[in-house]
Chains A and B, each alone.
Chain A
Amino acid sequence: MAERGASGFRKDTVDRLLRLHFRDGRTRVNADAQLLMAEFLKVFVREAASRAARQAQAEDLRNVETEQLEKVLPQLLLDF
């Protein structure tokens, strides 16, 4: 398995997160799909963080606050 020393979501966290919201009790997630979803969520978080960081840099700030997040959030949600 490619271990780049990068963090990410644990497989069973992802599984439980999703199962929280299933309407049908029989719905499950296959193992590969769990891994893909973990990756998906990781990208989601990194996008949110990176975009907010870029926004802060555009405003010449080194500290990224919720203000920057608010500005990038709409587009983020549209892109996902």
Chain B
Amino acid sequence: QRLKAAVHYTVGCLCGEVEEEKDVQFSKQIIAAISDITFRHCEIFAKDLEMFARHAKRTTITTEDVKLLARRSNSLLKHITKMSEELASSNMEQKEKKKKKSSTAKAERTPGEQESAVTENEDSNMA
């Protein structure tokens, strides 16, 4: 199960960061436990995302679905929303560049996630 190994590796890296930030040491067992929990929770996340998309009569999961997934915590939702806006605006920039190359006016697609940004707090870690 290379996927589990990939998750475990990333979890290890992230725990390493927290170790430095908080000056603590994570045991191997706890890293394995977090990795396992994350892996198993992906099933729940995946099924939720699929259901959201299906509810919207789509087969492709979009950023809107991810935002819905993040609804339980305000700061998480803000963090994810902010990131989705950044992605959307950098996508727009790329499209602008492409438009300039091909000088035909194509139909504009306004992504649905262009909400006015709420004042962002730094506490994306739910401190």
Chain A: residues with CB nearer than 8 A to chain B? Answer: 6-10, 13, 16-24, 26-30, 32-33, 35-37, 39-50, 52-54, 56-57, 61-66, 68-69, 73, 77-80
Cβ < 8 Å to A, chain B residues 1-43: 3, 6-7, 10-11, 13-19, 22-27, 29-30, 33-34, 37-39, 41-43
| A27 vs B65: C-alpha distance when bound (angstroms) | 13
Residues of B that sit less than 8 Å from A by CB: 3, 6-7, 10-11, 13-19, 22-27, 29-30, 33-34, 37-39, 41-43, 45-47, 49-50, 53-54, 59-63, 65-67, 69-70, 72-73, 76, 79-80, 83-84, 87-88, 91, 124-126
B-side contacts of A65, CB under 8 Å: 27, 29-30
